[in-house]
C-alpha cells in the first residue's frame, strides 16, 4: 500500500486536524490552525518526534528530503539537529511540554512496530491495525489527551460494535489497550488501563461466549458448505485460494494468511505453524488432506518471497494479502457470513455427521484443553487421527 502522500493530498489534509502520515517517518501535524512537519523515530527503544518545519513554508519534497537525511543520520549514529519552525518575527517564548493525544501515541506506536510486522504481512497488517483505531477509536477520543482517556471513552468506542462485529471489536479493544500501555510506559499516563479486559471491561461488556449466541447467523450450515466450495473453486485469485485452504484445514484467518512455504511439506502433507503465529503460542501441526495439497501445488509463487498468499502491492518484500481479503470475498458471495464461521461449520459437521472423538476435533481446531486432567493424560497431538478427520472433511466438501 502506498504510504507517501502527494502535494495535492497534503494541501487538502492541511485543513484537517490530526496527524497524517506523509512518508517514511514523516507526518503532517494539523492542530488549531498550526500545520507542522513532524519526524518520528526510535531512540533507546522509545518512539520520539521532532518538528522539522512548517507547511507550506517547507514543501512536501523538502520535508521528505529532510526526513531522509535524518534517517541517514540516525543510521550513522549522528545527533539530530533542532529545527526552528517559528516565524522569524515572532518573539520566542518558553515552550510547554507537548500534550500528546491518543491519536499521537497510537500513530507513533504503529509506526514503531511496523518493522517487526514485516515478516508476517507487515505493511498491510500495520495499515489494518491503525485503520481500525482511526475508524472506531479516534471519533470518540482520538484528540483527547492520552492521559485523560477513561473507561467511558473506551466503552463509547466499543459498545456500538461489541455485539455486531465481534472480531473487529475484540481487536480494537486489544489495540486501544496496547496504545494506553505504551503511553504509561512513556510516562504519559498513570493508573490502571481502562481498556483492560480481565477484572475491568469483563464486568461491563458481555463475554465472548455470550456474544457468540448473538452471532450464530454468521456461520454457514455444514450441509451448505460443499455447494459454497464448488462455487469458490470457480474463482482464481489469492483470496479465493486462501479461503479454500482455510475451510479445508479449519485454521484461523491469521494462520492461513501468514503461511510460509518453508512451513509446508507437500510431499508428506504436513503444515507446521510455528508457536509465534498461533493464538495459544504452541506449535501446531496441520495434516493437509489431498485436496489441500493439490490446491497448494497449483498456486503461483512469487519469486523472492516465501509467502504463500502474497500480496501484489508488496512484490519482493514477502508481503501477504490483507487479513480482510477473505471476509470481503465472503461478503460478495454470502453477505452476513464470517470466515470464522467455517470453523463452527466444521465442528458441527464432525459432531453431527461423524464418530470422531471430540478431543480430536478440538485439537484439529487448535483449541486449548481446558480440562487439566485430560491434558495431563493425553500424549502427542493425535496427528494420525486428525489426518483421518481432515481427509474425511475434505472428501465431504467435494
In order of their start, the domains of the chain are: 7-76 (3.30.160.390), 102-214 (1.10.150.130), 219-397 (1.10.443.10)
- pLDDT tens, position by position, for the chain (398 residues)? 345 677 788 888 888 777 788 888 888 888 766 788 888 877 665 667 777 878 887 888 888 888 888 888 887 877 765 444 444 444 444 434 456 889 888 888 887 776 665 444 345 667 778 888 988 898 888 888 899 999 988 998 898 888 878 888 888 999 999 999 988 988 889 999 999 988 899 888 887 554 444 444 467 889 999 999 999 999 999 999 999 999 999 999 889 998 999 999 999 999 999 988 888 788 899 999 999 999 999 999 888 888 999 986 444 455 788 878 898 899 899 988 889 889 989 988 988 888 888 788 888 998 765 444 344 334 467 889 999 999 999 999 98
Cis bond upstream, residue 56 (ω within 30): yes
Please answer whether residues 397 and 350 qualify as being in contact, where contact means their C-beta atoms are separated by less than 8 angstroms.
no
- Residue 157: left if φ>0, alpha if ψ -120 to 50, beta else—which one? alpha
What cell numbers appear for 259 in the block?
503461511
Joined grid coordinates for residue 197: 479486559
List the grid coordinates of 153. Answer: 471513552
Q: Vertex 151, ends 148 and 153: CA angle to 5°?
A: 70
Q: Which residues pair with 31 in a beta bridge?
A: 34
Please tell me the distance from the alpha carbon of residue 228 to that of residue 396, in angstroms, as a whole number: 12
Of 95, 107, 114, which Cα lies nearest the Cα of 143?
107
DSSP state of 356: -
Amino acid at each position: 500500500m502506498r504510504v507517501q502522500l502527494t502535494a495535492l493530498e497534503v494541501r487538502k489534509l492541511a485543513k484537517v486536524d490530526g496527524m497524517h502520515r506523509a512518508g517514511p517517518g514523516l507526518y503532517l501535524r494539523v492542530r488549531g490552525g498550526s500545520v507542522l512537519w513532524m519526524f518520528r523515530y526510535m531512540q533507546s527503544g522509545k518512539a520520539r518526534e521532532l518538528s522539522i518545519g512548517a507547511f507550506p513554508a517547507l514543501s512536501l519534497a523538502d520535508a521528505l528530503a529532510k526526513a531522509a537525511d535524518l534517517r541517514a543520520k540516525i543510521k550513522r549514529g549522528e545527533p539530530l539537529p533542532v529545527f526552528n519552525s517559528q516565524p522569524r518575527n515572532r518573539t520566542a517564548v518558553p515552550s510547554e511540554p507537548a500534550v500528546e493525544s491518543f491519536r499521537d501515541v497510537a500513530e507513533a506506536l504503529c509506526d514503531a512496530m511496523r518493522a517487526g510486522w514485516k515478516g508476517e504481512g507487515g505493511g498491510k497488517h500495520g495499515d489494518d491495525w491503525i485503520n481500525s483505531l482511526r475508524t472506531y477509536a479516534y471519533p470518540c477520543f482520538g484528540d483527547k489527551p492520552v492521559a485523560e482517556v477513561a473507561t467511558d471513552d473506551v466503552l463509547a468506542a466499543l459498545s456500538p460494535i461489541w455485539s455486531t462485529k465481534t472480531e473487529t471489536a475484540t481487536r480494537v479493544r486489544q489495540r486501544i489497550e496496547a496504545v494506553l500501555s505504551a503511553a504509561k510506559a512513556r510516562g504519559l499516563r498513570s493508573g490502571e488501563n481502562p481498556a483492560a479486559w480481565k477484572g475491568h471491561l469483563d464486568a461491563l461488556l458481555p463475554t465472548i461466549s455470550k456474544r457468540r449466541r448473538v452471532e450464530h447467523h454468521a456461520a454457514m450450515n455444514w450441509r451448505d458448505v460443499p455447494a459454497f466450495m464448488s462455487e469458490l473453486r470457480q474463482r482464481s485469485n489469492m483470496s479465493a485460494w486462501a479461503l479454500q485452504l482455510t475451510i479445508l484445514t479449519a485454521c484461523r484467518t491469521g494462520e492461513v494468511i501468514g503461511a510460509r512455504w518453508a512451513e509446508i511439506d507437500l510431499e508428506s502433507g504436513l503444515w507446521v505453524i510455528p508457536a509465534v503465529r498461533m493464538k495459544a503460542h504452541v506449535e501446531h501441526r496441520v495434516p493437509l488432506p489431498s485436496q489441500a495439497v493439490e490446491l497448494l501445488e497449483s498456486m503461483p509463487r512469487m519469486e523472492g518471497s516465501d509467502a504463500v498468499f502474497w500480496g501484489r502491492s508488496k512484490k519482493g518484500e514477502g508481503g501477504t494479502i490483507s487479513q480482510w481479503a477473505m471476509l470481503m470475498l465472503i461478503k460478495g458471495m454470502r453477505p452476513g457470513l464470517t470466515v470464522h464461521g467455517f470453523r463452527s461449520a466444521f465442528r458441527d459437521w464432525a459432531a453431527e455427521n461423524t464418530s470422531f472423538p471430540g478431543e480430536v476435533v478440538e485439537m484439529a481446531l487448535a483449541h486449548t484443553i481446558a480440562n487439566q486432567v485430560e491434558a495431563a493424560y493425553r500424549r502427542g497431538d493425535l496427528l494420525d487421527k486428525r489426518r483421518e478427520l481432515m481427509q474425511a472433511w475434505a472428501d465431504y466438501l467435494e
